[in-house]
Amino acid sequence: MRIAVVAPSCALKREAADRVQAIAKARGDCEIVVHPQCFLSDGHFAGPDEARLAALREVMADPDIDAVWFARGGYGSNRIAQAAATALPEAARTKLYLGYSDAGFLHAAFHKAGLDVAWGPMPQDAMREGGDSAVKRALDWIVRRDPTALEPGLSRPAMAFNLTVLSNLLGTALEPDFTGVDLLIEEVSEHLYATDRTMFHLTSSPNIRKAARLRLGRVSDILPNDPDWGTNAEAIIEDWCARSGVPYGGRADIGHDAANRVVPFA
């Protein structure tokens, strides 16, 4: 099993790449091929759009690569997602694509194009406290579709997104069909007033209103609200679910942390 790592958003830390390759070597069931593009730097990004797109399309087209693992989030995959999902080579259709956070732009476009995508931990997570368990969980899913890696509440077709990423792909060419899907969302490093505003945007969408349920992952590193918001993130999500008629399905075991579970799109 050969797993390619590319960075469609921000650059990967060398230490994270080394750690992930060491874990894979110790397992003995997979090989991690870290594309040199992961370490490029161009302002905010892991290289210019052209370099990030070229690396991604290269591993997508490689029949010897079984899975494409997005190195990390940050920001930038939206700038190449539509081009990456266009004129797909046949080899792109036989592999798995795994990641989360900013990679959601790619998840949306690739799922829409019929590719096999999943939300789950990324190589950069090796740097987190407890990060080895996140890497293990991701590899358990990539290599042998181990069901213990899965988010435990999956009961129907599901998708998972960072809330801000999801809001920013609505109305774009990347937007998939949410009909009948359990939509799992999570958020990080936002003010609660911004989360409320994003939920207004999200639940105003006729497409989002066709989702079966919204389920809430962890909302972490919440920025201060002045004055105090008064309630909490779950109350915000429940409020907008009630206003829009989208059933609230309770909490989900995903988030920007080492405990983040796998959600295959279906």
Assess 225 for contact with its own copies (CB under 8 A): yes
Binding of its own copies by 43 (CB under 8 A)? yes
Q: Residue 64, by phi and psi: left (phi above 0), alpha (psi -120 to 50) or beta?
A: alpha
Q: Does 244 bind its own copies (CB under 8 A)?
A: no
Find the binding residues for its own copies in span 108-137 (CB under 8 A).
Answer: none
Residues in the chain: 266
61 is a site residue for its own copies (CB under 8 A): no
Q: Give the interface segment with its own copies, choosing from 28-36, 135-143, 145-153, 190-198 (CB under 8 A).
A: 190-198
Tokens standing for residue 180: 């009948």
245 is a site residue for its own copies (CB under 8 A): no
CA 108 to CA 121: how far, in whole Å? 17
Q: Find, among 242, 162, 222, the residue nearest to 198 by Cα.
A: 162
- Does 232 interact with its own copies (rule: CB under 8 A)? no
Does the protein bind its own copies through residue 94 (CB under 8 A)? no
Binder among 27, 79, 136, 209 for its own copies (CB under 8 A): 79
Tokens 């309630």 belong to: 231
Contact 263, 217 (CB under 8 A): no
State which residue, 21 or 82, has the beta carbon closest to its own copies: 82
Of 25, 31, 41, 152, which lies in the binding site for its own copies, with binding defined by CB under 8 A? 41
Contact 92, 115 (CB under 8 A): yes
Instruction: Report if residue 230 touches its own copies, rule: CB under 8 A.
Output: yes
**Total site size for its own copies, rule CB under 8 A:** 33
Q: What phi and psi values does residue 155 have, to the nearest 5 degrees?
A: -130, -5
Residues 6+ apart with CB under 8 A from 1: 29, 30, 31, 66, 67, 142, 143
Q: Does 28 bind its own copies (CB under 8 A)?
A: no
Give the one residue of 13, 75, 116, 258 binding its own copies; rule: CB under 8 A: 75
- Give CA–CA dist 12/64, Å, rounded: 23
Task: Name the site residues for its own copies (rule: CB under 8 A).
Answer: 41-44, 74-76, 78-79, 164, 167-173, 192-194, 196-198, 200-201, 204-205, 225, 227-231
